[in-house]
Amino acid sequence: MRLQAKPFDAQIFAQFGDVICARQMPDKMINQGKCARYHNLAKLDFVGDGRAGISLFDAEPRALPYRLEMMERHPLGSQAFLPLHEHPFLVVVAEDDNGQPSNVQAFITPPSVGVNYHCNIWHGVLTPLEAPGLFAVVDRIGNDKNLEEFWFDEDMVIEK
């Protein structure tokens, strides 16, 4: 199966998570008017005894066409990816159909835009398209199982 990666569309992505980027106007100016604050850009959601943690992921860049073999979701918490570079990356999301991904959609983010996948949303693995692949990740840290994977019987090929 072939799937076209579309330019990022914040309205379509909204059903899966939050777009993390600076808007035209900051919510307020702080630090003696020298710092623009873009406030509360993502809904962090953690279930049970977990807590928010900040990690760094350094992912190997991939190329298009990209073979999507599996998707994952985190039933106990949201997961935010904040690029520490100005390169676009591939975002793959899907609806849930009885415990498996359906209606898979692929987007290429604009430069410097991050995403926050809501709790229990099917998504592809971190897929930078250029080096460096360094991201700050805010997600749930805890001892209980917070990862479900779904491996496709047949890979999807995502093209530009």
pLDDT tens per residue, range 121-149: 999 999 999 999 999 999 999 999 999 99
Amino acid at 143: N
Q: Which domains does the chain have, with CATH numbers?
A: 2-159 (2.60.120.480)
Could you tell me which residues come within 8 angstroms of residue 18 by beta carbon, excluding any fewer than 6 positions away?
41, 42, 43, 80, 115, 116, 118
Tokens of 141: 């840290």
- What average pLDDT does this structure show over 39-62? 95
Main-chain phi, psi angles of 10, to 5 degrees: -60, -35
Rounded to whole angstroms, the Cα distance separating 26 from 23 reads: 6
Q: For residue 78, is pLDDT > 90?
A: yes
User: How many residues are present in the chain?
Assistant: 160
pTM: 0.94
Q: For residue 18, is pLDDT > 90?
A: yes
Strand partners, 134: 58
